[in-house]
């Protein structure tokens, strides 16, 4: 919903002077200029191939920096795969791609132990999951068993095969796409699995002018081929580390919790946002603040991220679904209802000293 | 102790000080200030110290109570130094309280600082100040604190006094209260924009002050009756009280300037009723005195005599009132004709024989009774017929039964006094009324009674006070002597009453263009004496008071209406003795004792009086200095706090920015464009912009406040910017709403707060 409504995302520019830290913020102030630069480079790269969707490009980067996985859900042909590949291409890191089909086996994803005639012994052959960025195309076409093998590795960032645990690369990000309208021969992701994606985004049809541009750029050949990596895995890992230091005040924590709790008590939800959702929302907000060059989270960050982080985790009651309500509506409703903090301690009394 | 506490404590002191003008109007001198303001200061200091040490409200109250017990008796002059409360002190205090109740009832304002009143005053100042301090400093209840202080301020204002300058009385208090409001609104020092609330309250206070005089009974209209209608407390003007109060004034001031053809007593009224405590006008049972209209006569014509008199000689007196607020007009007895521009304001009463000021309409008496008409600049000329009978003429006068009955009434039997009087008559071998009266007068003034004249004596209290005075103590002043002699006369069947007024005063010169002698009459000339009725010759003056300064005129058997006063007479007799007889005067004879006594007493008294007057002046100056210092201290504290504010904000401007945000939001709420709860600061700024209320700066402000709120870096320059932006933003919001909303916005703030508190309460209850 968010990317198609045409409304600009609230962008909060940084507050200028960054000389000495205020006394009550204990940790070192991160210098976020590198993060911002990296982000802008990746964004401009992506924009070369996905025309007219800057916010989608940004969300993808945020998911990466927030150590999350991205689920792109949209109709075929709007550039899901192109977005994923452009992101992967922009970073000088290992990329693998898995085309999910009904007959795909878990070992096709994670890898397997094979007998080598040359060495005369068994050796582990890593699957496509052993890469920094894993593109899982049409993830809902694979059977549940294969899906869950991927999803488990997403959560634990390790793969266990034949009793041996293998660490995955750092950073590790799964970008999965799925097609919502093709029902035949698909295995919809269960809610529990969807929860493992940091955010779900949709791309939406491009604007008329953008579509024209697509025709032209793609007409000249594969635009991806022209993309050069703008940073490497180490830079991303450093950025992720920096983002963990972005300051979150108590008021923001309380606000995040209040939003998530509100989804649980909303009359139209059967299943609300889990504590994992709260964590995800906060991580996304941190990354969002960081890519804007801000070293602290404001309520606007939470509000900007919630529509991407929360809806795919909600399960509506049948009545609401029948009435045509979407989880995104519930999230919007919740954001309208939860008081946003404007002061460090929202519950502080206003009485005079 | 925080600076805020200090500031607020000083504000309480300032408001208390601002009541000075209000209390000044009900006291004759500034003497009340020292004990009352010391009490207030002590109460504040104790409360501040407890607060500074972190003590709670209960501890503060306890500490204050201990201080109260220790200091109030000292300040009220009951004990010389703080002492543990014992039975004696308690009895003394209880007696002081009952005395104070009586004094409050019978003393007309402006009053002297009487012993009982000072106790009430000190205690009241202490308690009110403590309560106000606790309300303002401990509980931040500015309104309640000011209400308590307003009571303190209003008490003297509802006492009826002829006084037209209520504005002057009101302005200091309103100013101090307004300052308090200004400096205590919210919990931070206000910036200019926040002055609105204070200004609003001040306007309200001024409005109240402007309308209250019309609404409050007795305020600014001179009540003949007391405030409490139907109350039995005698509230009318009883001139006898004036005598004692004037005499007790430490600083002597000139009240009348008189040009007179002869030395003469200036009489206010004849008090014909004794209620057991005081001699007063009118029946003892009445709360206040109202003469029978049939005995009242306008002064346009010749005045009918109170008692027809033969053997009189004319007296001409020009009187200019310098400093006397009264309803009774001082005149020589008995007046025949009044001239002068103010004569239409006067009325002559043949009951009591007094001239009073009364409102008249077209020469007719108005219904509302007399008022304080004698005032500065009040001038009149009196022609009077002074009774000058000889002793022989008075020997065979007869009083008819009804008159005798009326003027020998006493509230009870005085057998001891009657017996004593009979003894005196027997000793003097006096049988006629005039001889007996002269004998009694001689007993009071001569060595027979051995009385001492002294102003510093307790008020006559208790049922047997008069007996105590005459038989045991024998110390008092004119009122005591007049009351004692009149009572003894009545007890022995002689029609007598107490007259009150002024001694002739001091000769200041003889103007060339006039045959009249100019006299200066001061507060120390206030006097009371005895009049005895001799039908056909009028009420004849007798003088029982052995006044130490010898300015009284004492009738003698050979000269019942002398013109020389006692001092002159003694000097003359002394000279005559020395000249003609060449006798060494007997050392302990009264004639010799006389001239020495006044001198000695004058030697004692004069420096005292001067010292007191000096102290009074010093007191005024001191009060002024203290007031100025306090204002300066408040100002300095404000500045200091502001600077500290700035300094602090240099280290942590966060608080300041957040306060700016609060202010902007509060203003927005007042103007009806409040932040919705779900809106973030930035969203709010954007909405305001969409609604064309504010410019781009609003978002900048929102970003700054968010940085301050959520852990971003902020510094002093950013705080400065936020303060400026907040001001601009508030102004922009104000301009963006329609004028009606703007005007009612001052009321909307408190209303919104109250509503929010109500909701919080309901919410808390529900939880």
Domain that holds residue B711: 654-766
Which candidate in A340, A341, A347, A351 is best for mutational testing of the B interface (most B CBs within 10 A)? A340
Looking at the fold, whether B170 and B308 belong to one and the same domain comes out as no
Q: List, in sequence order, the alpha helices (H) in B76-114.
A: 87-106
Name the nearest CA neighbour of B32 among B264, B232, B250: B250
Distance in angstroms between the alpha carbons of the first and the last residue of chain A: 46
Looking at the structure of chain B, the number of domains it has is: 3
Chain-chain contact of A13 with B703 (C-beta, under 8 angstroms): yes
Q: List, in sequence order, the alpha helices (H) in B554-696.
A: 566-576, 590-651, 654-670, 681-690
Looking at the fold, whether B215 and B321 belong to one and the same domain comes out as no
B477 belongs to a structural domain? no
Residue B264 has pLDDT above 70, yes or no: yes
Residues of chain B in contact with residue A300, where contact means CB-CB under 8 angstroms, are: 680, 682-683, 706
Q: Which positions ≥6 away from A20 have C-beta within 8 Å?
A: B713, B715
pLDDT at A135: 86
Report yes or no: A161 and A130 within 8 Å, Cβ to Cβ: no
ipTM above 0.85 for this complex: no
pLDDT at A168: 85
Token readout for A351 is 């009485």
Boundary-marking domain end, from B360, B391, B422: B391
Residues 114-133 of A with CB under 8 A from B: none
Q: Is the peptide bond before B110 cis (omega within 30 degrees of 0)?
A: yes
B573 belongs to a structural domain? no
pLDDT band at B462 (very low <50, low <70, confident <90, very high): low
Looking at the fold, whether B266 and B211 belong to one and the same domain comes out as no
Looking at the fold, whether B744 and B694 belong to one and the same domain comes out as yes
B613 belongs to a structural domain? no
Find the radius of gyration of the CA atoms of chain A: 21
Looking at the fold, whether B263 and B196 belong to one and the same domain comes out as no
Tell me the β-bridge partners of A231.
A91
Q: How far apart are CA B567 and CA A193, in angstroms?
A: 122
Q: Which positions ≥6 away from B441 have C-beta within 8 Å?
A: B485, B530, B542, B543, B544, B554, B555
pLDDT band at B597 (very low <50, low <70, confident <90, very high): very low
Q: Which CATH class is domain A247-347?
A: mainly alpha
Residues B176-198 have a mean pLDDT of: 59
Tell me the β-bridge partners of B365.
B360
Looking at the fold, whether B128 and B40 belong to one and the same domain comes out as yes
B275 belongs to a structural domain? yes
Looking at the fold, whether B197 and B289 belong to one and the same domain comes out as no
Give the per-residue SS3 of chain A: CCCCCCCCCCCCCCCCCCCCCCCCCCCCCCCCHHHHHHHHHHHHHHHHHCCCCHHHHHHHHHHHHCCCCEEEECCCCCCHHHHHHHHHHHEECCEEEEECCCCCCHHHHHEEEEEECCCCEEEEEECCCCCCEEEEECHHHCCHHHHHHHHHHHHHCEEEECCEEEECCCCCEEEEEECCCCCCCCCCCCHHHHCCCCEEECCCCCCHHHHHHHHHHHHCCCHHHHCCCCEEHHHHHHHHHHHCCCECCHHHHHHHHHHHHHHHHCCCEEECCCHHHHHHHHHHHHHHHHHCCCCECCHHHHHHHHHHHCHHHCEECHHHHHCCCCHHHHHHHHHHHCCCCCCCCCCCCCCCC
- CA-nearest residue of chain A to B137? A353
Token readout for B236 is 């009318």
Which candidate in A21, A342, A352, A353 is best for mutational testing of the B interface (most B CBs within 10 A)? A342
Name the nearest CA neighbour of B536 among B700, B731, B680, B400: B400
Residue B102 has pLDDT above 60, yes or no: yes
Residues B485-501 have a mean pLDDT of: 89
pLDDT band at A286 (very low <50, low <70, confident <90, very high): very high
Give the per-residue SS3 of B679-722: CCHHHHHHHHHHCCCCCCHHHHHHHHHHHHHCCCCCCHHHHHHH
pLDDT at A350: 37
B567 belongs to a structural domain? no
Q: Other C-beta atoms within 10 Å of B463: how many? A: 11
Q: How far apart are CA A204 and CA A75, in angstroms?
A: 8
Nearest-CA distance from A314 to chain B in Å? Answer: 21
Looking at the fold, whether B272 and B129 belong to one and the same domain comes out as no
Smallest Cβ–Cβ distance between A251 and the set B651, B678, B710 belongs to B710
Token readout for B290 is 């109202």
Q: How far is CA B265 from CA B268, B270, B326, in A?
A: 10, 13, 17
Smallest Cβ–Cβ distance between A296 and the set B712, B715, B718 belongs to B712
B453 belongs to a structural domain? no
Strands A70-73 and A173-178, bridge-based pairing: parallel
Helix (H, G, I), strand (E, B) or coil at B385: strand
Q: Range with the lowest mean pLDDT among B217-226, B475-484, B586-595?
A: B217-226
Sign of CA dihedral B626, B628, B631, B637: negative
Residue B411 has pLDDT above 80, yes or no: yes
pLDDT at A299: 92
Boundary-marking domain end, from B345, B364, B391: B391
% of chain B with per-residue pLDDT over 70: 74
Q: Range with the lowest mean pLDDT among A205-214, B460-469, B742-751?
A: B742-751
Residue A240 has pLDDT above 80, yes or no: yes
B348 belongs to a structural domain? yes
Chain-chain contact of A300 with B706 (C-beta, under 8 angstroms): yes
Residues B98-121 have a mean pLDDT of: 75
pLDDT at A158: 85
Looking at the fold, whether B219 and B330 belong to one and the same domain comes out as no
Looking at the fold, whether B266 and B352 belong to one and the same domain comes out as yes
Residue B688 has pLDDT above 50, yes or no: yes
Helix (H, G, I), strand (E, B) or coil at B456: coil
pLDDT in tens, B546-562: 877 778 888 888 888 88
pLDDT at B97: 84
Residue A285 has pLDDT above 90, yes or no: yes
Residues A170-185 have a mean pLDDT of: 77
C-alpha B606: how far from chain center? 25
Residues of chain B in contact with residue A294, where contact means CB-CB under 8 angstroms, are: 712
Chain-chain contact of A340 with B677 (C-beta, under 8 angstroms): yes
pLDDT in tens, B1-20: 567 788 888 888 888 888 88
Average pLDDT, chain B: 76
B194 belongs to a structural domain? yes
């Amino acid at each position: 919903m968010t990317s198609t409504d045409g409304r600009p995302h609230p962008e909060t520019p940084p507050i200028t002077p960054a000389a000495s830290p205020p006394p009550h913020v204990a940790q070192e102030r991160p210098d976020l200029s590198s993060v911002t630069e990296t982000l802008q480079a990746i964004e401009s790269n992506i924009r070369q191939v996905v025309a007219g969707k800057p916010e989608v490009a940004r969300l993808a980067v945020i998911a990466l920096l927030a150590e999350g996985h991205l689920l792109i859900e949209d109709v075929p042909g709007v550039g899901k795969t192109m977005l994923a590949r452009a992101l992967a291409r922009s970073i000088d890191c290992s990329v693998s791609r898995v085309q999910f089909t009904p007959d795909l086996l878990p070992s096709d994803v994670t890898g397997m132990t094979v007998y080598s005639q040359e060495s005369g012994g068994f050796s582990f052959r890593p699957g496509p999951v052993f890469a920094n960025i894993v593109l899982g195309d049409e993830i809902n076409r694979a059977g549940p068993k294969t899906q869950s093998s991927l999803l488990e590795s997403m959560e634990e960032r390790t793969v266990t095969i034949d009793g041996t645990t293998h660490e995955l690369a750092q950073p590790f990000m799964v970008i999965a796409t799925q097609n919502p309208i093709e029902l035949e021969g698909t295995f919809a992701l269960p809610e529990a699995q969807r929860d493992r994606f940091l955010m779900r985004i949709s791309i939406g049809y491009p604007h008329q002018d953008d579509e024209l541009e697509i025709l032209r750029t793609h007409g000249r050949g594969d635009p991806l081929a022209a993309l050069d990596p703008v940073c490497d895995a180490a830079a991303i890992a450093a950025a992720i580390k920096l983002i963990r230091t972005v300051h979150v005040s108590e008021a923001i924590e309380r606000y995040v919790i209040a939003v998530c709790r509100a989804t649980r008590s909303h009359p139209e939800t059967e299943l609300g946002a889990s504590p994992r959702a709260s964590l995800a929302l906060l991580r996304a907000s941190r990354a969002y603040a960081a890519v804007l060059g801000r070293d602290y989270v404001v309520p606007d960050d939470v509000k900007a991220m919630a529509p991407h982080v929360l809806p795919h985790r909600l399960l509506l009651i049948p009545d609401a679904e029948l009435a045509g309500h979407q989880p995104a509506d519930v999230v919007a409703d919740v954001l309208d209802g939860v008081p946003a903090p404007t002061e460090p301690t929202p519950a502080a009394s206003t009485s005079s000293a | 102790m925080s600076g805020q506490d200090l500031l607020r404590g000083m504000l309480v002191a300032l408001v208390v000080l601002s009541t000075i003008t209000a209390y000044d109007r009900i006291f004759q001198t500034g003497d009340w200030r020292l004990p009352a303001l010391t009490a207030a200061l002590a109460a504040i200091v104790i409360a501040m110290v407890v607060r500074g040490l972190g003590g709670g409200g209960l501890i503060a109250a306890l500490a204050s109570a201990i201080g109260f017990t220790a200091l109030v008796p000292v300040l009220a002059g009951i004990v010389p130094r703080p002492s543990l409360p014992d039975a004696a002190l308690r009895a003394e205090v209880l007696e002081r309280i009952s005395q104070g109740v009586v004094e409050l009832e019978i003393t007309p304002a402006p009053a002297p600082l009487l012993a009982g009143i000072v106790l009430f005053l000190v205690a009241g100042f202490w308690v009110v100040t403590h309560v106000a301090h606790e309300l303002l400093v401990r509980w931040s209840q500015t309104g309640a604190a000011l209400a308590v202080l307003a009571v303190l301020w209003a008490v003297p204002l509802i006492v009826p006094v002829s006084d037209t300058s209520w504005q002057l009385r009101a302005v200091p208090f309103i100013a101090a209260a307004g300052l308090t409001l200004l400096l205590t609104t919210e919990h931070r020092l206000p910036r200019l924009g926040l002055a609105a609330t204070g200004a609003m309250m001040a306007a309200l206070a001024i409005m109240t002050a402007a309308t209250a005089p019309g609404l409050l009974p007795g305020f600014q209209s001179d009540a003949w009756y007391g405030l409490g209608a139907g109350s039995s407390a005698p509230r009318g003007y009883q001139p006898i009280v004036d005598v004692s109060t004037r005499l007790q004034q430490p600083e002597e001031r000139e009240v009348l300037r008189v040009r007179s053809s002869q030395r003469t007593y200036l009489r206010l009224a004849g008090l014909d009723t004794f209620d057991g405590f005081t001699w007063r006008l009118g029946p003892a049972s009445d709360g206040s005195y109202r003469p029978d209209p049939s005995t009242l006569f306008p002064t346009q014509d010749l005045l009918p005599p109170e008692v027809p008199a033969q053997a009189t000689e004319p007296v001409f007196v020009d009187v200019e009132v310098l400093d006397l607020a009264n309803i009774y007009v001082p005149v020589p007895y008995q007046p025949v004709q009044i001239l002068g521009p103010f004569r239409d304001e006067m009325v002559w009463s043949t009951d009591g024989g007094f001239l009073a000021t009364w409102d008249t309409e077209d020469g007719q008496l108005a219904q509302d009774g007399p008022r304080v008409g004698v005032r500065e600049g009040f001038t009149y000329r009196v022609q009077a017929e002074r009774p000058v009978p000889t002793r022989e003429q008075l020997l065979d006068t007869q009083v008819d039964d009804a008159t005798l009955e009326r003027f020998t009434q006493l509230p009870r039997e005085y057998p001891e006094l009657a017996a004593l009087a009979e003894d005196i008559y027997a000793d003097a071998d006096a049988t006629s009324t005039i001889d007996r009266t002269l004998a009694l007068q001689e007993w009071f003034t001569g060595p027979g009674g051995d009385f001492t004249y002294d102003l510093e004596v307790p008020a006559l209290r208790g049922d047997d006070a008069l007996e105590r005075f005459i038989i045991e103590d024998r110390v008092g002043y004119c009122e005591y002597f007049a009351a004692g002699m009149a009572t003894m006369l009545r007890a022995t069947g002689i029609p007598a009453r107490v007259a009150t007024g002024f001694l002739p005063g001091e000769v200041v010169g003889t103007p060339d263009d006039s045959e009249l002698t100019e006299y200066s009459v001061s507060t120390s000339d206030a006097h009371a004496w005895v009049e005895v009725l001799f039908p056909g010759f009028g009420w004849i003056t007798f003088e029982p008071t052995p006044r130490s300064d010898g300015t009284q005129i004492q009738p003698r058997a050979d000269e019942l209406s002398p013109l020389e006063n006692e001092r002159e007479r003694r000097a003359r007799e002394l000279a005559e003795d020395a000249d003609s007889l060449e006798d060494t005067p007997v050392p302990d004879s009264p004639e010799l004792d006389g001239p020495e006594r006044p001198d000695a007493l004058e030697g004692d008294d004069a420096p005292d009086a001067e010292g007191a007057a000096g102290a009074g002046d010093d007191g005024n100056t001191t009060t002024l200095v203290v007031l100025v210092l306090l204002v300066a201290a408040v100002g300095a504290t404000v500045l200091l706090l502001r600077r500290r504010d700035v300094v602090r904000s240099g280290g942590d401007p966060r608080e300041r920015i957040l306060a700016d945000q609060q202010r902007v939001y509060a203003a927005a709420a007042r103007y009806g464009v409040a932040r919705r709860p779900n809106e973030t600061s930035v969203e709010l700024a954007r909405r305001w912009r969409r609604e064309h209320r504010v410019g781009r700066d609003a978002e900048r402000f929102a970003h700054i406040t968010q940085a301050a709120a959520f852990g971003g870096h902020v510094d002093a320059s950013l705080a400065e910017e936020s303060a400026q932006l907040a001001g601009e933003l508030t102004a922009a919001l104000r301009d963006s709403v329609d004028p009606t909303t703007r005007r009612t916005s001052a009321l909307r703030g408190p209303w919104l707060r109250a509503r929010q508190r109500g909701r919080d309460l309901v919410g808390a209850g529900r939880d």
